Structure 1
């Protein structure tokens, strides 16, 4: 019996010693610090549900440069791809042949004028002799006919001179519009004429228009607004998204609604004009046309990184008192460039966790830092 009591005491002492060791070990373990998270305040921003359409840029004015007369190209004074102004010389043709033709018709005009002057003097003499009954009336009539014919010859010669001068002016081909000129299709020494096709092309780049198609229902709204307000959809704003994904800085304005619905697509063509002072937009370029309401309601906006999803839907972690977090179910709305608009479950001014959400749970204390603050 004494032996059993001694063994029991040893076992109890051993158990107590082991418990003490575990207690000391647990006491020695440091408490982990609260997890660091990044937080941001929920803001209220205008929210709209813009409609997007694929459009193509077009030049409002463009011009193919053509030659009205035949001749050899002697000068091409423009730089390909450069801006040109109305009246700038683009091509010069050899004027020698047309100068000779002008000189010839000018000589014919001088001859006709001299003949007309002589006929006028002869008519004057005949009229004087008729007053003294020296010559018959038939002589006067004949002189009058000769003078009239001579005057007609003068008019014909003057017309020929004007035509020759006009033809000579065509040897200097000028820009008829402001714009940017493309490549030259003919170089110095080439023989060109009315049948040669375009020598070059000038395109007006400021402003440009975009052409896109909208549904029949939207076009009815446009027409009703035009009837009420005198303008096409004055409550809608137009913006472009460029091929690189960036938004174009300048807004557009509606210009034209087509008068027919395309039977194969059920859509209507719309044109809008965009100023293009820096010539970022180019004809033929495909862009995305964004049509949105000018006046929109304001809703909470939460960053994309703050929104988590599970089987029940989207949620965020809200930073509460004493730096504790709580899970909050939300209803997301439109996807905007900087985050989700929120239609329910969240108010502007609340603070949400935007980074470090992986190991969070309700009631956990965190170490928050504001987005944008220095480390």
Structure 2
């Protein structure tokens, strides 16, 4: 009888174990079917894009400094000119005559000074002997001082004549592109006659834009100390057709006050422009970004859900359990959306079947179709 009882107990235990295993398999087979993908780790340069305008580093009006008839123009309109290149010639003959007259006046003043020095030295020797009076010696001294002043005046007039003659040749103050001329050969030009032409430098150029006070702080520009100390950001210029300009720029100016009307602060970058593709006045987009890329976590945008608590994703936890994970979103990239916090790079997230699961439920997996 005792042996029958033990056998029955063993059979009962085996039966219950089989039923439990069958129940577990049944529950697992009934778990929602989902698709999970590993979290992607990539590198990314944080950036912001602004509307900007191209400006010339140097932009000047070419005008006449002396009055005279325009003798010749030495450039083609719209061409690139070099610093010091001759642009216009004003008829120089009258200024050459003034220079010659100034040289003659200086020579005469020097001759007068020489005689005054001789008379003074002679009088200086005669005064102790009583051969001349003190009044006569004072007169000789006065004549010497006057002769010295005449020489200085003549030298100044000579310098002025040389400067005026040099102004008859109008040269480019810097390298750049020159505009159309506003005067013709034979015109009478003067300092009051207005602009003869304009000249702008094209390599490099400035791109000017404005950022808000909040963005200035986010970009770390509150510690900006000038272009020589700026090694954290670079500038990518984007043309109107969406094409990236081939040369990167760097920040070289931050305004000293916030605009009260717009709440923004002026910024400027200097950009190499060897091919002269960028022209002053051109509208561009300016992408301000970090020089060194940082490691970020990226997930497909379809994996991110939103409720009253904010953004979240469903993570596959240990034991194939769906677990809610609140996340902080960043910028949308081509690979997906950046997750600033809430995920690690070694985790898997559920990307399909989200409508059939909730936090804490077991899940089953099917292969992810890469074409989707």
Matched, 1:352 2:370: yes
For residues 157 and 288 of structure 1, what CA distance do their matches in structure 2 show? Answer: 59
Q: Counterpart in 2 of 1:316?
A: none
Conserved in 2, the CA contact under 8 Å of 1:334 and 1:340? no
Shift of 1:74: 1.0
Shift of 1:345: 5.6
3-state DSSP of counterpart to 2:217: helix
Query: Which sits farther off after the overlay, 291-300 or 129-138?
Result: 291-300
Q: Counterpart in 2 of 1:276?
A: 273
Q: Counterpart in 2 of 1:258?
A: 255
Q: TM-score, normalised by structure 2?
A: 0.66
For residues 130 and 263 of structure 1, what CA distance do their matches in structure 2 show? Answer: 79
Conserved in 1, the CA contact under 8 Å of 2:234 and 2:251? no
Shift in CA distance, 254/133, structure 1 to aligned 2, threshold 3 Å:
same
Q: 2:91 aligns with which of 91, 94, 102?
A: 94
3-state DSSP of counterpart to 1:134: coil
3-state DSSP of counterpart to 1:100: helix
**What is the 5 A alignment of 1:1-375?**
46-47=43-44, 50-221=47-218, 222-226=220-224, 231=229, 234-293=231-290, 294-297=292-295, 339-341=334-336, 352-353=370-371
For residues 73 and 247 of structure 1, what CA distance do their matches in structure 2 show? Answer: 45
Which structure 2 segments of 5+ residues have no match? 1-39, 303-328, 339-348, 352-367
Q: TM-score, normalised by structure 1?
A: 0.66
Shift of 1:133: 3.0
Shift of 1:299: 6.4
Shift of 1:230: 8.8
For residues 262 and 212 of structure 2, what CA distance do their matches in structure 1 show? Answer: 9
For residues 333 and 61 of structure 1, what CA distance do their matches in structure 2 show? Answer: 40
Conserved in 2, the CA contact under 8 Å of 1:47 and 1:299? no
RMSD (Å) for aligned C-alpha atoms = 3.0
Q: Counterpart in 1 of 2:355?
A: none
Shift in CA distance, 50/142, structure 1 to aligned 2, threshold 3 Å:
closer
Shift of 1:49: 6.3
Conserved in 2, the CA contact under 8 Å of 1:301 and 1:341? yes
Conserved in 1, the CA contact under 8 Å of 2:46 and 2:293? no
For residues 87 and 270 of structure 1, what CA distance do their matches in structure 2 show? Answer: 32
3-state DSSP of counterpart to 1:353: coil
Conserved in 2, the CA contact under 8 Å of 1:60 and 1:208? yes
Shift of 1:297: 3.8
Conserved in 2, the CA contact under 8 Å of 1:333 and 1:341? no
Conserved in 2, the CA contact under 8 Å of 1:239 and 1:248? yes
Conserved in 1, the CA contact under 8 Å of 2:238 and 2:284? yes
